[in-house]
Structure 1
Amino acid sequence: MQTLDWIVLIGTLLTIVIYGTLKTRGSKDVQDYVRGGNSSKWWTIGLSVMATQASAITFLSTPGQAFHDGMGFVQFYFGVPLSMIIICMVFIPIYHRLKVYTAYEFLENRFDLKTRSLTAILFLIQRGLAAGITIYAPAIILSAVLDWNLNYLNIIIGILVIIYTVSGGTKAVSITQKHQMAVIFAGMFVAFFLIISYLPADITFTKALDIAGASGKMDILNFEFNLENRYTVWTGLIGGTFLALSYFGTDQSQVQRYLSGKSMKEMQMGLIFNGLLKVPMQFFILLVGVMVFVFYQFNASPINFNPATDNVVLYSSCIDDYRMLQAEQQQIFDEKQVIVQQYSNSNPSKENIKALQKINQKDKANREAARIVIDEAAKEFDTKIETNDKDYVFIHFILNNLPRGLIGLLLAVILSAAMSSTASELNALASTTSLDIYKRNFAEGKEDAHYVRATKWFTFGWGILAIIIACVAYLADNLIQLVNIIGSIFYGNVLGIFLLAFFFKAIKGNAVFIAALITQTIVVIGWWFDWMPYLWLNLFGCALVMTIAFLIQISMTCNERTVS
């Protein structure tokens, strides 16, 4: 990190925070603070929805996912466009007609207060955890590669977000997210073109794609119907659609983004814009990761991209084994240079392709052996270390290859993404706590100014809690998967409740409330014992709560008839 990088990084972040604070301060009523005065245009809604979902985890983990496993992860998002159409046709007209402030307000109108409160609490649990992770994800990675204090980073990111989110509410979040997305898109495009320019002169973009394809990184579509495989076309279209329906249609962090629209048409156009752009955006981010993979076919890379692993192994009894693996890694790289050069200088034959695949499999096996050694070294010191380095691949490339100034820009991209997602989450958590829990259960009939103050205090409280969660969290296998796993545990149940409310008028509040409690318990058990890939939990939870609610309602109706 050079002085210019610090100037770019700090300048970008402070500009966003100060602009968002000054532009939106002074909200006096709930309409203005929670729904942004219903002044957002469709492009603001679309970018805000996209920024809420595209956290720092997206820009850190997704390229690393592609580096290791290829483009197949894009199938996860295939359900998003379909879900956007359904939400525009079903959810938005109802929300707009009822003029609700939160998604869960509709459930009280349809069922009862306890169902509204339970659904809001389910949202608060999963989104509260996710808020901590969206702060923690970039903080732990930046702390590892830059040797910054992890807890200080958690606190800095959290405080920056709290400042403008408390000040301006929904409007501050939407306005700042437009600028954050501009920074994010600019940074990712710059990184992509720089990677291409860093390849050898005779390696065109087409040849780079050929090398990636021969290495199995361009296998995008998998039509196999296999529950053991997390990423297939069917998983994305079925499980992904149910996850996206629940996330964009019932999660207040997203619903609040489009409820701020000037009209129903603006809300719908904003979501369609997001649906059209989401898959191409994720495809592009994954392609950046694939190009990083191609870059490291011609440039040496560490055996593990997490720099903290070297420090653990260095003082352990495993150091000799680790150095042997590092020496073997260098030998593999030297062999790879010959094979890749032969591949790129000729029309690839089956032998060329097989040789490239074989050397990359050897590389993968050597890295896996290194992970095992690192785990053994960590056990000696009774410490935990993240050996799965997917989340560190892209940041390693940035810090070791980009020119001065651009390092600061890409770090600003990562932190801007963290701030934008966290701001949406805090804003939604506070609105839900204030209006769905506090107002309806503890403080009805107060003036608007009271609820605005309460929402600001809840924003501050959730921000502090998110920082605390970030400070005590620990990395999972892959951060982007962790967030989606947390969502999948709760989203199917919540979506089922909303579908019952929309389409099945015979089902009453008591049946839904009991069914939701039973379903959530079963889904948690199913996740714990790994009954199915996590994306299918969305469909499972949705179908289960609807089935149980039907059975309970039939039983209640029969009992009522018997009594009468």
Structure 2
Amino acid sequence: MNTIDWSIFILILIITLAIKQFKLQKVNSSSIYDKSTLNYGVKLIAIQSFVYSFISLPGQAYSQGITFLQLYLGIPIAVFFTLYVIIPKYKIAKTKNAFEYILNHSDKKIHNLTVVLYLILRMLILTITFYAIAMVLSILVKVNFKTLLIFISIGFIVLHLLFKNKNYLFQKHNQLLYCTIIIILIFTCILYKLPLGMYIDDTLSFTASFDKLTLIDSKLAEKDKFDLTKCLINGTILFVALLAMNTKTLQIYRQSKYSYKTKDSLFIYGLLNIPFQFFILLTGCILFTFYQFNDAPLHYNPNNVHTVKQSIYADQYNEIKQKYHKILSLRKEASLLYSGQIYQNYSNEVLQDQILSLTENANKLQQEAKTLIKKANDDVEVNDSDFILLHFINFYVPDGITGIIIAIFLISLISLGLREINWLTKSILNILPIKKKNKANEHPIKNRYFLVSILVIILILLITYHVPVFLNLIQILWTYASLFSGTLLAILLISMYGRANNQIFFVSIIIVQLSIFYLYFTTNIHYLWYNAIGLSGLTVLTFVLSTVYNSISISQKEKDILI
């Protein structure tokens, strides 16, 4: 970023923190729930959306096209299931959250185990926010990724102590609005910077010719590992769990009094979410087209580039870079010729194959560069797909706007992190055996709150420090969610519709969840399948063990009668 961008970036940060400190502390957060059905639906999308998805999804689409959208096709089915299977039970029980329902229909051990599983999931999801903040900061300052994580943790401790439990910088629906505007600006900017005379229809035709806009395809499914069956089954389970277990989602259900507004807001959520995710992915696909006509970096993470250039591998890296730019020059010429023929409604397969071949060679050189970076510093993360959009923002967005975009992304991520830390802290305190609040123990409770919040931040730091960014951020999110969502949904459904011995139910939950962890670390099963494994595994195991237990109990009673 240049001086103008830095000035705007710092100014926005200062203004936001000042407003938060002096004005927004008096805002009642419950006031965000008004009586508009549309707003209920939009807030559902806001609650289920994560700021880093705006950064990560374009990189996912850039690499693999729009096939990832198949995961979100399960949302409409999840909405119907939630409306007609989950919500009627909540309405009858007048429950505050899913955990209260489980407590009232099972026992405290199962309730506590469910809460612990959910807390672990939320902690893992919070680590992604730390990763995302470190990624945004790494394009601004040349500091080691793990060092950034330490500074981020210290920053969260300071902000948490400063703002106490009033932890929002942006409200969730405002974050959604600002980030959506940013994506629209970036999309427009990409189109504007494409070759002269290349309009939206030509751009889409060019992008589609490289299978980036193909949603369902068996060949792509083998390559990208996202097929319709897998995504539809597991996506449905995943989003039902999110809609049924998320406490903020249930707050909206209660605010709308489980009325027609609840139903309509869920329909709005189901109708708007897929086009919303499609547009973010489409931005990444268009970004792929943009880099066919413009120089793409050998490696997108500038901090890693600085690391390798300061090492003994600098000369080797520069040699690879020279080869890479020669390939890009040839690809640019071929792309210009190909786009001109598309403009004339003619698709030249020879040129298309040439571009694909050049792209494949460029990808091989990028892998060689990652190997050198890893040799230069084994501690750095070489997965750079999440930096693709950030690179475009940093180098191709007009001066001034870059600073605004980076500031909004950073503030939104910090706000998301503060919210999650606050929620985790309160949830942990709720399950700890602490006496009820009174004037005598008010200060000890506050001290416990800050102590637990600091411990949460330290725990998140330890996880992020030792667990690498093994996929892009959005796939890490759904990996973590998939490991727990099937089990959590099964616990809720069995509590609602099943009749199982509590001891057997408790043991079954532990067996299934440990089995999922074992399979994840020892097999190559795609992470999405753990949704189905968790749901079906716990349901079947509980049924089988309950049947065996009942048979043994009946046999024992018959023996006792005979005696």
Fold match by TM threshold 0.5: yes
What's 2:131 paired with? 136
What's 2:414 paired with? 419
Partner of 1:346: helix, strand, or coil?
Answer: helix
User: Aligned pair count?
Assistant: 548
What's 2:190 paired with? 195
Please identify, of 157-166 and 465-474, the stretch whose mean Cα deviation from structure 2 is larger.
157-166
What's 1:551 paired with? 544
In 2, Cα distance between equivalents of 1:176 and 1:352: 50
Task: Flag the 1:508–1:416 CA change in 2: closer, same or farther, 3 A.
Answer: farther
Name stretches of at least 5 consecutive residues in structure 1 with no aligned partner: none
Partner of 2:470: helix, strand, or coil?
Answer: coil
Task: Flag the 1:335–1:26 CA change in 2: closer, same or farther, 3 A.
Answer: closer
Task: Flag the 1:525–1:43 CA change in 2: closer, same or farther, 3 A.
Answer: same
Question: Match for 1:493 among 487, 512, 517?
Answer: 487
TM-score by structure 1 length?
Answer: 0.86
Residue pairs, 1:324-335, within 5 angstroms: 324-335=319-330
In the alignment, is the contact (CA less than 8 A) between 1:16 and 1:176 conserved in 2?
no
- In the alignment, does 2:257 pair up with 1:258? no
Question: Match for 2:527 among 528, 534, 538?
Answer: 534
In 2, Cα distance between equivalents of 1:258 and 1:455: 29
Partner of 2:535: helix, strand, or coil?
Answer: helix
Task: Flag the 1:366–1:26 CA change in 2: closer, same or farther, 3 A.
Answer: closer
Please identify, of 481-490 and 37-46, the stretch whose mean Cα deviation from structure 2 is larger.
37-46
C-alpha deviations, 1:355-379, integer Å up to 9, x for none? 2243234223333333234324533
Task: Flag the 1:21–1:55 CA change in 2: closer, same or farther, 3 A.
Answer: farther
Shift of 1:132: 2.2
Could you tell me which amino acid in structure 1 is paired with residue 370 of structure 2?
Answer: I
In 2, Cα distance between equivalents of 1:107 and 1:228: 41
- In the alignment, does 2:209 pair up with 1:211? no
What's 2:337 paired with? 342
Question: Match for 1:297 among 292, 295, 299?
Answer: 292
Shift of 1:460: 6.1
In 1, Cα distance between equivalents of 2:17 and 2:250: 20
Task: Flag the 1:391–1:225 CA change in 2: closer, same or farther, 3 A.
Answer: closer
What's 2:148 paired with? 150
Task: Flag the 1:263–1:272 CA change in 2: closer, same or farther, 3 A.
Answer: same
Task: Flag the 1:413–1:79 CA change in 2: closer, same or farther, 3 A.
Answer: farther
Name stretches of at least 5 consecutive residues in structure 2 with no aligned partner: 558-563
Shift of 1:468: 5.4
Residue pairs, 1:50-89, within 5 angstroms: 50-89=45-84
Question: Match for 2:277 among 256, 259, 282?
Answer: 282
C-alpha deviations, 1:406-450, integer Å up to 9, x for none? 112221342244235434533442443243x23xxx247667997
What's 2:561 paired with? none
In the alignment, is the contact (CA less than 8 A) between 1:131 and 1:466 conserved in 2?
yes
In 2, Cα distance between equivalents of 1:470 and 1:151: 8
In 1, Cα distance between equivalents of 2:394 and 2:274: 28
Please identify, of 391-400 and 265-274, the stretch whose mean Cα deviation from structure 2 is larger.
265-274
- In the alignment, does 2:393 pair up with 1:398? yes
Residue pairs, 1:439-458, within 5 angstroms: 442-443=433-434, 457=450
Shift of 1:190: 1.0
Shift of 1:465: 4.1
In the alignment, is the contact (CA less than 8 A) between 2:157 and 2:454 conserved in 1?
no
C-alpha deviations, 1:314-354, integer Å up to 9, x for none? 35554444333322222222222322222222257887234
Please identify, of 489-498 and 319-328, the stretch whose mean Cα deviation from structure 2 is larger.
319-328
Q: CA RMSD in A?
A: 3.4
Question: Match for 1:104 among 95, 99, 104?
Answer: 99
Question: Match for 1:509 among 478, 497, 502?
Answer: 502
Please identify, of 419-428 and 231-240, the stretch whose mean Cα deviation from structure 2 is larger.
419-428
Shift of 1:99: 3.6
Shift of 1:539: 0.5
TM-score by structure 2 length?
Answer: 0.86
In 2, Cα distance between equivalents of 1:141 and 1:353: 39
In 1, Cα distance between equivalents of 2:78 and 2:540: 22
In 2, Cα distance between equivalents of 1:261 and 1:184: 26
In 1, Cα distance between equivalents of 2:197 and 2:220: 40
Could you tell me which amino acid in structure 1 is paired with residue 471 of structure 2?
Answer: D
C-alpha deviations, 1:450-492, integer Å up to 9, x for none? 7996995555653554455445553223221112111111111
Could you tell me which amino acid in structure 1 is paired with residue 56 of structure 2?
Answer: S
Task: Flag the 1:17–1:240 CA change in 2: closer, same or farther, 3 A.
Answer: farther
Shift of 1:142: 2.6
Shift of 1:270: 3.5
Task: Flag the 1:302–1:122 CA change in 2: closer, same or farther, 3 A.
Answer: same
